[in-house]
Structure 1
Amino acid sequence: MNERKETSQTLKALMGIRNLVIGGEIARGERLSEVPLSERLGISRTPIRAALARLEQEGLLERIPSGGFLARGFSTDEVIDSIEIRGVLEGTAARLAAERGVEPRKLIEISKVVEALDEIMCDDPREMNFERYVELNAEFHRLLSMLAGSETLRREIERATSLPFASPSAFLESEEAIIVFRRSLIGGQEQHRAVVQAIEMREGARAEAIAREHARLARQNLEYVLNTDKSLLTRIPALTLVVT
């Protein structure tokens, strides 16, 4: 019981600190220390300490020699590299799943997610249940990471997507993004369907290519922000950490 409680508190601390950083309440380059965070989040110092170490491993924080951590800033190149790495890993997962074969129940499970996404897609994104879309999109990518049956690959994909701007829903988590990035939703759903079909047909190269291209939708959205509307840098939580 105590171990489960400790794990729950660490997870609560992890999510709390991550939200503070990503949401801009802790500015890029600001120092984070155990005591103030413990008081702010109402969590004891032990889970806070564990969460800080985990976020450093994820790359969101940087340890400083004098003690404590800094909220990291990321260059545009680092953001692009993170997105590309996710695409490579998810592409590998899709290819291996196709080559090794997938249990029917797992294909049914991910296919049901695709069908559920189909049901909420519409021409006018303002009428879409957007919270549900983000939830289902995340579930699709979670299931995709497990189809190959490789715990190593699943773990590396989880690590690659832990940075907010590299996650499958990085540019889909703000109200403004519903309109600004609507062009990516329909194409993205077509790719969801196509990658599952390729895996089912045992077409490894095709499955890999589609999954890698799918990840690049995030890069296209990033380039839109940087080249067309930089005002979104302050309105999309994932991009508060980017140094331009």
Structure 2
Amino acid sequence: MDSRVAQRIRELIVEGILPPGTRVAEAAIAERLGVSRTPVRNALPALASEGLLEPAGKRGYAVRNFTVEDSYRATEIRCVLEGYAARELASRSDRGPIIEELRDTLAQGDSIFAKGHVVKDDENAYAEMNRRFHDLIVGGAEDPLLSDLIQRVYSVPFVAPEVVAFNRIPLEEIYPILISGHHQHHAIVDAIEEGEPHVAETLMRGHSSPARRSLGLEGSGPQ
């Protein structure tokens, strides 16, 4: 339930219903969404970790001010860092257990796309699958500094891999974007399993395009 509440609050921010600087009051949000204050209270720290909210007052949060260019640049940086992680993982001789987990994650994604389209209810399942995929690769590199740097990049709004925006793009348009990204997931895991560090890195760095497109950031970057 908390994840659904977080997604609904995220949509209010994305759609500008909660503009930058707006204080997010638990009671008001709970009333708007028709839920109790508890899931709202639990969702706010998660949204803050994504960079959508920032601390305001002793225990409150406000909508963070950010630009589309901020998110575009951070997505590029994210994929460079994750490319390094994929290279490191592909170079490890003990990568077998991580590959098994990655294959399991790919199967979860396959099941989401098996029907040939996506629906609104797929949003949370896709977000959880995508976050697990990226976490496994970053964690598999076993580099604490890299993990810290990536977490800093994830704090920029709309950059963390679990952030999806089904409300920003029509479902019939987002499906080919997401399925293309998932095909890239398969190719990345194949390269890691086959011990091809440079291929894995190149594929992971190229993964920024579907990430941007799925959030409506394509074409919004620096000119």
Q: What TM-score results when the alignment is normalised by the length of structure 1? A: 0.65
Structure 1, unaligned runs of 5 or more: 1-11, 227-244
Q: Using a 3 Å threshold, how does the CA distance of structure 1 residues 87 and 108 change in structure 2: closer, same or farther?
A: same
* From 102, 110, 125, the counterpart of 1:118: 110
C-alpha separation in 2, matches of 1:129 and 1:37: 25
Deviations 1:85-114 (A, max 9, x none): 211111111011112334322211111111
- Judge conservation of contact 1:107–1:200 (CA < 8 Å) in 2: yes
TM-score w.r.t. length of structure 2? 0.70
1:28 corresponding residue in structure 2: 19
Poorly superposed stretches of 4+, deviation over 6 Å: 15-19, 38-41
Instruction: Return the alpha-carbon distance in structure 2 between the equivalents of residues 169 and 51 of structure 1.
Output: 15
Change (3 A) 1:175 1:219: closer
CA separation in 2, counterparts of 1:175 and 1:223?
Answer: 10
Secondary structure of the 1:125 match is coil
Q: Distance in 2 between matches of 1:129 and 1:21?
A: 15
Q: Of the candidates 187, 204, 211, which is equivalent to residue 204 of structure 2?
A: 211
Q: 2:33 — aligned with what?
A: none
In 2, Cα distance between the equivalents of 1:51 and 1:130? 23
Q: Deviations over 1:38-78 (max 9, x none)?
A: 897757xxx99x959x93x864446789xx86522222211
Query: Partners in 2 of 1:17 and 1:128 — Cα distance?
Result: 15
Rounded to whole Å, the distance in 1 between the matches of 2:127 and 2:6 is 21
Identity percentage of aligned residues: 28
For the aligned residues, what is the CA RMSD? 4.0
* Greater per-residue helix proportion: 1
- Return the index of the structure with the highest Cα Rg: 1
The alpha carbon displacement at 1:197 in A equals: 1.3
Unaligned runs of 5+ in 2: 31-36
Name the counterpart of 2:187: 194
